[in-house]
Amino acid sequence: MIELKDLRYDYRNGPTLSFADLSASAGCTLLVRGASGAGKSTLLALMAGLLTPTAGQVFVDGIDVGALAPRQRDAWRGAHLGFVPQRLHLSEALSVRDNLGLPYVCAGEPVQPARIAEVLERLGLQGLAARRPHQLSVGQAQRVALARAVLRGPSLLLADEPTASLDDEAAAEALRLLIELAALSRATLVLATHDARVSQALPDAQLLQLNRAPACSA
Ligand SMILES: Nc1ncnc2c1ncn2[C@@H]1O[C@H](COP(=O)(O)OP(=O)(O)OP(=O)(O)O)[C@@H](O)[C@H]1O
């Protein structure tokens, strides 16, 4: 379950972003829509505990994420969150397989090769495990980032513009996989997008429409 209450984020040298109150039940799909610059990525970063609200709260399954101390926040993120960011942040120095070991290393847990192999296979990536990210297509790299996000069975799966730079076929496949993998983890799925194809593909998703931030004098 996700709740936003009086949520606001002020960028030091940028706009003030205010978000409407929201309640989204566990396991639902939430579509965060809005024009470029409306604050979609900022909202996802607040939900992920990567930014701290200037005012108000983000509750995920009853936890006030912004109120957690940095160490608690890291632990919470490792245990509950899967994030497919807009820029995928795959390590170029590592193979696909080793990129998928990183979530375990970050959580201070032993890498689980069997789980990695299972997720690679589910995403049709088993033949690409030894490649480096620059040897992948855009769609394949997206799937590796999705694999990394779902490895540890998150209860909250965030995806920032998951269909950007994908053609229609790859975009449909990325959405299908996101929905399938979120359902497998019984995760709440939050998709930030300005891609009309996503809204069309998910007519039953709960909508959060963001308005463009007012112009800023900074
Ligand atoms: N680090 C920053 N410092 C100052 N302003 C910022 C910073 N990051 C983002 N902004 C501003 O905050 C607003 C919201 O940005 P955000 O990236 O959340 O929007 P978005 O809806 O995700 O946009 P897009 O669809 O283009 O990715 C924009 O006006 C942006 O310029």
For residue 163 the two structure tokens come to 């269909």
Q: Is 142 in the pocket of ligand 1 (CB under 6 A)?
A: no
Range of the domain at 60: 2-209
**CATH number, domain containing residue 154:** 3.40.50.300
For residue 108 the two structure tokens come to 């201070």
Residue 215 lies in a domain: no
Q: What average pLDDT score do residues 145-166 get?
A: 91
DSSP classification of residue 165: T
Interface ipTM: 0.98
Residue 109 lies in a domain: yes
Closest CA to 133 of 124, 120, 142, 121: 142
* pLDDT tens, residue by residue, 18-61: 999 999 999 999 999 998 899 999 999 999 999 999 999 999 99
Ligand 1 atom closest to Cα of 44?
Answer: 18
The CA distance from 88 to 189, in Å, is 18
Computed over every residue of the chain, the mean pLDDT equals: 92
Residue 97 lies in a domain: yes
Q: Is 155 in the pocket of ligand 1 (CB under 6 A)?
A: no
pLDDT value at 139 more than 70: yes
Residue nearest to atom 17 of ligand 1 (CA): 41
Give how many domains the chain has, as a whole number: 1
